[in-house]
C-alpha cells in the first residue's frame, strides 16, 4: 500500500509542469549531479528553483566505467555544460555519491588514473578550483564549494 502511494506521488510529480527561473549571478549556485548505468544528469539550481537541466547518455566505453568514475564524469560534464553560469564564481556541487567526497580529501596520486585525468583536465581544474568540502547534510549529499 505504501509503495503504491509513493508510486502515484512520483507519477504526479513527473506529470507536473516544471518552470525554469532566470539565472542571478548574485545568488548562491548549486549544481546537482547524478549518474546511472546508462546516462548522466544534472541541474543548475538557485534558491531551490531550477535554472537549467542537462543530461546525456553514456557511450559504450563510459558504460564500463566504475561507479565512482561515472560520478566524477557527471561532475565534469555538468561543469562544462554550465560553464557560462559558473565561470569565475563559487558554486556548490551536490552528489549522492559519498566516495566521491573522499577523492577531494586525498592526495591526487591516491586517485585512480582515470579520475586523475578528470581532475587534471584544465577546464575541470579551473571550474573546481578551491573546492572546499562541506559536511554531509541530512539529505546525504556530498557538497563541494
Cell numbers for 105: 580529501
Q: How far apart are CA 35 and CA 97, in angstroms?
A: 9
Asked whether residue 30 is domain-assigned, the answer is: yes
pLDDT at residue 47 in the model? 92
Per-residue confidence (pLDDT) for residue 145, from 0 to 100: 47
Contact present, 30 and 46 (Cβ < 8 Å): yes
What total of structural domains would you count in the chain?
A: 1
On whether residue 3 sits in a domain, the answer given is no
- The answer to whether residue 14 sits within a structural domain is no
63 inside domain: yes
Q: Is residue 95 part of a domain?
A: yes
All three cell numbers of 86 = 559558473
Q: Is residue 2 part of a domain?
A: no
Q: Which residues of the chain have pLDDT under 50?
A: 129-142, 145
Which sign, positive or negative, has the C-alpha torsion 135, 137, 141, 144? negative
Instruction: Tell whether pTM > 0.95.
Output: no
Q: Is residue 85 part of a domain?
A: yes
b/e for 40-76, b at 16 or more Cβ within 10 A? bbbbbbbeeeebbebeeebeeebeebeebbbbbbbbb
pLDDT at residue number 140? 36
Amino acid at each position: 500500500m505504501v509503495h503504491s502511494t509513493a508510486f502515484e506521488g512520483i507519477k504526479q510529480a513527473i506529470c507536473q509542469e516544471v518552470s525554469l527561473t532566470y539565472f542571478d549571478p548574485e545568488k548562491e549556485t548549486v549544481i546537482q549531479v547524478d549518474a546511472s548505468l546508462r546516462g548522466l544528469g544534472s541541474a543548475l539550481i538557485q534558491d531551490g528553483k531550477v535554472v537549467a537541466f542537462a543530461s546525456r547518455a553514456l557511450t559504450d566505453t563510459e558504460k564500463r566505467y566504475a561507479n565512482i568514475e561515472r560520478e566524477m564524469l557527471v561532475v565534469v560534464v555538468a561543469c562544462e555544460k554550465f560553464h557560462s553560469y559558473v565561470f569565475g564564481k563559487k558554486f556548490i556541487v551536490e552528489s549522492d555519491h559519498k566516495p566521491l567526497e573522499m577523492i577531494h580529501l586525498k592526495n591526487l596520486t591516491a586517485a585512480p588514473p582515470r579520475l586523475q585525468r578528470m581532475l587534471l583536465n584544465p577546464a575541470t581544474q579551473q571550474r573546481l578550483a578551491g573546492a572546499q568540502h562541506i559536511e554531509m547534510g541530512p539529505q546525504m549529499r556530498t557538497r563541494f564549494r
